[in-house]
Amino acid sequence: MTFKANIQQGIPSVLPETKTYDTKINHAPKRKDILSQDEKKLALKNALRYFEPHHHNILVKEFSDELKNYGRIYMYRFRPEYEMYARPIDQYPGKSEQAKAIMLMIQNNLDYAVAQHPHELITYGGNGAVFQNWAQYLLTMQYLSEMTDEQTLTMYSGHPMGLFPSHKEAPRVVVTNGMVIPNYSKPNDWERMNALGVSQYGQMTAGSFMYIGPQGIVHGTTITVLNAFRKINRNPTGGLFLTSGLGGMSGAQPKAGNIAGCITVCAEVNPKITHIRHTQGWVNEVITGLDYLVARVNLAKTNNEIVSIAYLGNIVDVWEKFDVENIYIDLGSDQTSLHNPWSGGYYPAELSFEEANAMVVENPDLFKIKVQETLRRHTAAINKHTAKGTYFFDYGNAFLLESSRAGADVMSKNGHDFKYPSYVQDIMGPMCFDYGFGPFRWVCASGKLEDLIKTDAIACEVLEEMLKNAPQEIYQQIQDNIKWIKSAQKNKLVVGSQARILYADAEGRVKIAEAFNQAIANGEIATIILGRDHHDVSGTDSPYRETSNIYDGSSFTADMAIQNVIGDSFRGATWVSIHNGGGVGWGEVINGGFGMVLDGSQEASKRSASMLFWDVNNGISRRSWARNEGAIFAIKRAMETQPLLKITLPNIVADHLLD
């Protein structure tokens, strides 16, 4: 059967052969046994409804075993035989070019080189899923191959509810993930609903089909590290950045450190993922001994090296060892998956990787105790270094939040705020988001490197032209991105699809999109798929990360993210998504995203200009209303360029009147 025929058949009428559990693949950890006996029966009924009744007697035992052995029903038998990667758009079957682009992006999210746990349909973050099971994947791809530009596919937490009549200007797909009633949005609620097969954790760009591998977070981390060094008035050369995590998102940290020009030490307890990052070239060296690590870092400092080092072991041991050896740390952070602390997102000290994984399943209560003990040790060591001058920031992974819940010494004197800032609160918010700069990205649907090279040149030309008349407030941001795009090819950032990211404001995004669309119309490049990280100016309401620099009391509200995705949907997005959960955890954030196909048409030009302008300025207006100085500047500038834009501006109250 050809690839196209495989896609078009959807769920096969004849059962495929069972699949051997591939131990060479990085698999998701076993989930906790949380369902009652009646709920397990319900989970089986829910899974079997995808299949004809005459298959149930075979599949019921198989799915029951999966639920018992893995804590979830993944339907491994139905994993496709064909290789999983983003093919050129013309290789997909279908009646809609937009639908073909979405199929391309789905397969990119599940590419073995991109996905963290590809056989469990998890892209990154330990639980950031594209689908809950393989039946959902097969059915979704079939629907996309059948749909026209007069239909919209609705996706309920990975489940394709069906094709509905709509119109050409409507989104082709509308995605929701984990949208549960607020009082049922605690971690165990997710475990239960996910095990039942009725909800999933889409992370941010995992469940919205817009992940482009570590490149996306490399760029954001590079900008963060550069600006963190600027904040402390320190040149990155010879400076030390200490952090942890080498997973789907955090694995970008050592590469970003290299681009920023510092010494990076990143601890990781998982040997397999450490090896993957080393072989991919995302980290230069791997060290297993603390004494050797100390010697190597001292040598790198002496020689002002630009080097990234993975320490295979627990990060707490490194912080404590560097304190004893008096190694000065310029920047410190953590990017382990503390949004998922009780299922392998963060590992306790003094336990091997294997012992910890076993404890997660066999004694989850003790595992939680061990994690919280380690968090207290971890923060105690950090506090010793910050007393010596280290600048520590929370990387939006719920490190400070979970540390506070563990009773660690991370609270400020007022007892309400953390003593250390979020990187958005202190760095990315005031320096980038308030001015509208965020992670704009694109994918070359042709799969051709030459198209990516051309788009790099086009984007660079647009930015250089903007720089000529840029106000001082945003000059540095544009300049950083010109430097980034010029070195992008040299840094070998592509994993999976031919994709690129840069931080652009609304003006930059609209102008780059228009230049791309014109190049497509002229036959210079093929179809381009636009998107962004949800971690952006407007897309996400997250009080401990994206909106941590909102100080008017609205940081726990989620109007912005909801308005964002609704506004994108009727301004021309090809697909839109809205999720509960993200990088800081289920129930802690609401985030939305989009995808947009540029095909060289006048319609695409009109849609991109309208939607991209809104997609950024929605967030700037909210940040302006919160009295953020940079956002007030940015929204006033936007109103000067767009006469139809009229934003409510805040009046500033003198503090002495409130005393």
Please state the pTM of the whole predicted model: 0.89
CA 35 to chain centre: 29
Other beta carbons less than 10 A from residue 467's beta carbon: 14
**Mean pLDDT score of the chain:** 94
The pairing of strands 151-156 and 173-177 is: parallel
Tens digit of each residue's pLDDT (9 = 90 or more) over 442-462: 999 999 999 999 999 999 999
How much is the pLDDT for 553? Answer: 94
Alpha helices (runs of H) in 10-55, residue ranges in sequence order: 37-48
Name the E strands within 157-239.
159-165, 173-177
| pLDDT mean over 360-365 | 91
Paired tokens of 382: 């950090």
CB 91 within 8 A of CB 3: yes
pLDDT of residue 217: 82
Share of the chain above pLDDT 70, in %: 100
φ, ψ for residue 109, nearest 5 deg: -65, -25
Q: Running DSSP on this structure, what letter comes out for residue 14?
A: S
Average pLDDT of the residues in 546-567: 95
Question: What's the one-letter identity of residue 115?
Answer: A
Relative to beta strand 391-392, strand 438-444 is: unpaired
Contacts of 473 (CB under 8 A, 6+ apart): 435, 630, 633
> Does residue 396 register a pLDDT over 80?
no
pLDDT at 466: 97
In the block, residue with structure tokens 């797909």: 173
What distance in Å separates the CA atoms of residue 1 and residue 7, rounded to the nearest whole number?
A: 10
Tokens 């840069």 identify what position?
502
C-beta atoms surrounding 492 within 10 Å: 12
* Rounded distance between C-alpha atoms, residue 110 and residue 136, angstroms: 13
What pLDDT is attached to residue 488?
87
Confidence of residue 492 (pLDDT cuts 50, 70, 90): confident
Helix (H, G, I), strand (E, B) or coil at 392: strand
Using the structure block, give the residue that is written with the tokens 């450190």. 257
Quick one: pLDDT at residue 343?
84
Average pLDDT over residues 419-425: 88
Of 78-87, 415-424, 513-522, 539-548, the poorest mean pLDDT is in: 415-424
Q: How many CB atoms lie within 10 A of CB 357?
A: 19
Report the pLDDT value the prediction gives residue 416, as an integer from 0 to 100.
80
Least Cα distance to 415 among 431, 429, 402, 404 occurs for: 404
Average pLDDT over residues 637-653: 96
Q: Which of 217, 215, 219 is nearest to 503 (CA)?
A: 219
Closest CA to 203 of 596, 612, 577: 577
Q: What is the largest CA-CA distance in the chain?
A: 77
pLDDT of residue 364: 92
Residue 126 annotated as lining a ligand binding site: yes
Task: Please compute the mean of the pLDDT values over residues 315-333 and round it to a whole number.
Answer: 97
395 has binding-site annotation: yes
Selection from 290, 232, 244 nearest residue 268 by Cα: 244
162 annotated as ligand-binding: no
State the Cα–Cα distance between residues 523 and 520, nearest whole angstrom.
5
Give the up-direction half-sphere exposure of residue 415: CA atoms within 13 A in the CB hemisphere: 0
Ordered domains of the chain (ranges, CATH): 3-196 (3.40.1770.10), 214-410 (3.40.50.10730), 436-657 (3.40.1770.10)
Residue 203 annotated as binding? yes
Q: State the pLDDT at residue 470.
A: 96
Determine the average pLDDT of the residues in 423-428.
Answer: 87
What is the pLDDT at residue 276?
A: 87
| pLDDT at residue 249 greater than cutoff 80 | no
- Three-state secondary-structure class, residue 173: strand
208 secondary structure, DSSP code: T
202: three-class secondary structure by DSSP: coil
Q: Are 240 and 328 in contact (CB under 8 A)?
A: yes
Q: Return the closest-CA partner of residue 445 out of 95, 211, 102, 80.
A: 102
Any idea what DSSP says for residue 177?
A: E
CA 104, CA 595: separation in Å to the nearest integer?
A: 12
> Of 338-347, 479-488, 503-512, where does the model show the most confidence?
503-512
Q: What are phi and psi of 598, to 5 degrees?
A: -100, 125
3-state secondary structure of 325: coil
The predicted pLDDT at position 578 comes to 97
Q: Taking Cα atoms as reference points, which of 172, 205, 19 lies closest to residue 100?
A: 172
CA distances to 338, 409, 412, 428, 488 from 419, rounded to whole Å, are 18, 9, 4, 18, 36
Confidence (pLDDT) at 526? 98
* Nearest to 339, CA basis, from 392, 401, 382, 421: 401
What is the helix (H) or strand (E) element at residue 577, kind and residue range? Answer: strand 575-580
The mean per-residue pLDDT over the stretch 199-219 comes to 90
Residue 218 has pLDDT above 80, yes or no: yes
Structure tokens at 659: 């005393």
pLDDT for 337: 84
Residue 15 phi/psi, 5-degree rounding, is -60, 130
Does 476 count as an annotated binding residue?
no
**% of the chain exceeding 90 in pLDDT:** 84
* 340-357 pLDDT, tens digit each: 888 888 999 999 999 999
62 membership: H or E segment, kind and range: helix 56-70
Using the predicted structure, report yes or no on whether residue 360 has a pLDDT greater than 80: yes
On whether 563 is known to bind a ligand per the annotation, the reply is no
- Hey, how many other C-beta atoms are within 10 angstroms of the C-beta on 41? 13
SS3 readout for 496-514: CCCEEEEEECHHHHHHHHH
Name the band, by pLDDT with cuts 50, 70 and 90, for residue 534. Answer: very high
Confidence of residue 632 (pLDDT cuts 50, 70, 90): very high
- pLDDT at position 583: 78
CA pair distance 426, 420, nearest whole angstrom:
9
In the predicted model, is pLDDT for residue 585 greater than 90? no
